[in-house]
Amino acid sequence: MSEPNGTSARAAGPLATRTSGTVRVVGSGLLGASIGHALTARGVDVVLVDASPSQLRLAIDYGAGRAERPDDRPSLIVVAVPPDVTADVVQRELETFPDAVVTDVASVKLEPLRTLRERGVDLTRYIGSHPMAGRERGGAISARADIFVGRPWVVCRDGETSAYDLSLVEGLALDLGATLIEMTPEEHDESVALMSHVPQLVASLLAGRFVEAPDGSLRLAGQGVRDTTRIAASAPELWVQILGANAAPVVAVLDQLAADLTDVAEALRDPEVPGARRAVADTIRRGNEGVERLPGKHGQNRRFDTFVVMVDDTSGQLGRLFGELGDLDVNVEDLRLEHSPGAPFGLAEISVVPDAVRRAVDGLQQRGWRIASTTHD
């Protein structure tokens, strides 16, 4: 299918494993170890390499792959190292393994590519890529085989890329359950500035305001502020590299955001001034429109209805809730959990297709569940 900006996307199909031979993964942190786990689970021979012996040993102990051997001849190499050394490692791997296709999973694509071109490196066997997947915590201990399932995986090919080499990288992404998206390096970096890098900064800036907040204020924190600042619990060292390598696109978005914040602040400085309240309302309304454009489950721009169920804080209640929704033939499209401080129950906000909300609510109430609220169009 076609994307609005000219990019293209393809979802994984129920095919046999496309990746074969030996895959060499350089870097055994969160992404590298997760790739190793996913491929190993599909029977692929995975070799792990890492500059840190302890990190490598941990990833191997967790089953993400094996140690390298002198006779290894990988067909595909995945470079999963921090952005500031990506170009160095890609160059080394291309030179060390002249028959292998090399890809990287760095979150910035243009800077490593520019560095490699300036060095005159032969890039006919190199294809940059980037899975839009991650967790707040890094390292092999946080790695998961399913981290890429349903997530976009950007592939940046050029005119020199052969169909065979491209099939290796795309096959890797599809084997891991990702959805393929083709972009140029420039499109990728501009997109992740808006969709990933600036959101990280916004979350960190807001969470930073909590450092000196009174304890009484912090006790009022609900699920909304926790959701907004969840990604603030990220590694500063890594993000300094990411933001530095993608500085220009990030600054462009920050300048726009700063102007928007200034406009809202000016409107609220004297809310009785004619037009001030409308300016605030327009800001909220524009946010609503932006959220509507975000693709949901399976990449669909689809609205779901929600209802909130009160769940007793006892063992097995969530399992019973999902079991009874299954009995009612209701598929859960999304789920959010919130536990009220000091309360003997939690709140499960469940999203379903509009046609199912009434059946779900009525059926659960008949089974003794307490429905706190419903929201539907």
Residue 244 maps to a domain: yes
Write down which residue in 166, 183, 200 finishes a domain. 183
Residue 247 maps to a domain: yes
Closest CA to 147 of 133, 128, 158, 164: 133
Count CA within 13 A, CB hemisphere, residue 131: 30
Structure tokens at 259: 């102007």
Whether 252 and 193 have beta carbons less than 8 Å apart is answered as: yes
Residue 101 maps to a domain: yes
Residue 251 maps to a domain: yes
Same domain, 12 and 100: yes
Same domain, 36 and 148: yes
Which pLDDT does position 136 carry in this prediction? 65
DSSP assignment of 102-127: EEE--S--HHHHHHHHHTT---TTEE
Write down which residue in 269, 296, 316 finishes a domain. 269
| Domain extent at residue 220 | 191-269
Name, in order, each residue with C-beta under 8 angstroms of 374's C-beta and a sequence gap of 6 or more: 305, 306, 307, 308, 357, 361
- pTM of the predicted model, to two decimals? 0.78
Same domain, 19 and 154: yes
Same domain, 237 and 348: no
Closest CA to 154 of 179, 129, 185: 129
Which pLDDT does position 2 carry in this prediction? 36
Which pLDDT does position 296 carry in this prediction? 65
Same domain, 229 and 314: no
User: Could you give the number of structural domains in the chain?
Assistant: 3
DSSP β-ladder status, 179-182 and 305-312: unpaired
* Burial (CB count within 10 angstroms: exposed 0-12, middle 13-18, buried 19+), residue 165: buried
Same domain, 173 and 85: yes
Same domain, 229 and 126: no
Same domain, 156 and 245: no
Which pLDDT does position 376 carry in this prediction? 57
Exposure pattern of 335-374 as b/e (b: 16+ CB <10 Å)?
Answer: eeeeeeeeeebbbbbbbbeeebbeebbebbeeeebeeeee
Same domain, 121 and 156: yes
DSSP β-ladder status, 45-49 and 76-79: unpaired
Q: What is the pLDDT along the chain (377 residues), one digit of tens a residue?
A: 334 444 555 544 445 688 989 999 999 999 999 999 999 999 999 999 999 999 999 999 999 999 999 999 999 999 999 999 999 999 999 999 999 999 999 999 999 999 999 999 999 999 999 999 877 677 888 899 999 998 999 999 887 889 999 999 999 999 999 999 999 999 999 999 999 999 999 999 999 999 999 999 999 988 889 889 989 988 898 899 999 999 999 999 999 999 999 999 999 999 999 999 999 999 999 999 998 888 865 445 557 889 999 998 888 899 999 999 999 999 998 888 887 666 688 888 999 988 899 999 999 999 999 998 887 54
DSSP assignment of 125-169: TEEEEEE----SS-SGGG--TTTTTT-EEEEE--TT--HHHHHHH
Which pLDDT does position 14 carry in this prediction? 44
Residue 213 maps to a domain: yes
Same domain, 196 and 179: no
Whether 47 and 23 have beta carbons less than 8 Å apart is answered as: yes
What is d(CA 242, CA 246) in angstroms, rounded to the nearest whole number? 6
Write down which residue in 220, 242, 269 finishes a domain. 269
